[in-house]
Structure 1
């Protein structure tokens, strides 16, 4: 199931497609291929392939395998592949096997990580 929410705007505000939007990929959804979004993507199901978005949240039951390019990444589930981000956060339930490039890194106690981490220069 796909859902996309748009923030409420005043009637006089100019339309900005995708600005501040959020797409949720439900737990019963499996996608193989590329995903591109100008807003935030929340993965509750499974994605295999490239994912480009302003923000990415991988839910506790979510799985992403592939290349991720996102300003903000928060992992609660499983991530395998490579990541380029400004802010990368691993929550306590995260399982990550990836090469990660980041500017800001947060790792909560309990997170399982394996891979190469490099600071953006």
Structure 2
């Protein structure tokens, strides 16, 4: 009835599945010095001194970036000092952006502050806009 089985095979531990839909959250008490690269979404409420490459970036009112941003979608509620290259850029009323913006779609709420050049559909060299999920600029390695 209670016999010991001679079959003592190790049991594999369950593998954790990655939830590719969950954003990476950088809290308001976090300060990062260095570049960030991800294929997913970032919710930034802290401070980043470096470049960011992501599919989607949301910079909260407390968030700030000093560096270049390349993403398919960017929402700015906080502060950016550096260029933004994105298919869709939304600058909300509390935002303060200093730097050039390359975009296909741009919306700016009343009260937002922007200082820089706005360019539609092409980069600084007149080439087609490159973003994370668009060709040919995929996220590979570290942000440049």
TM-score, L = length of structure 2: 0.71
CA deviations 1:8-41 (Å, max 9, x no partner) are xxxxxxx985632300100000001010111100
Is the radius of gyration larger for structure 1 or structure 2?
2
2:26 matched to 1:25? yes
Alignment of 1:45-84 (within 5 A): 45-84=46-85
Could you say which residue in structure 2 is the equivalent of 1:42? 43
What SS class does the counterpart of residue 67 from structure 2 fall into?
Answer: strand
Could you say which residue in structure 2 is the equivalent of 1:117? 118
Return the structure number with greater strand share: 1
Answer yes or no: is the 8 Å Cα contact 1:99–1:117 preserved in 2: yes
CA deviations 1:50-102 (Å, max 9, x no partner) are 10000000000100110100000000000010111000000000000011100
Give distance in 1, aligned partners of 2:105 and 2:50. 24
Aligned-residue Cα RMSD (Å) equals: 1.5
- Aligned residue pairs total 107
Question: Structure 2: 5+ residue runs without aligned partners?
Answer: 1-15, 123-144
Question: Structure 1: 5+ residue runs without aligned partners?
Answer: 1-14
Answer yes or no: is the 8 Å Cα contact 1:18–1:39 preserved in 2: no
What SS class does the counterpart of residue 69 from structure 1 fall into?
Answer: strand
- Could you say if the C-alpha distance between residues 39 and 98 of structure 1 is closer, same or farther in structure 2, counting changes exceeding 3 Å? same
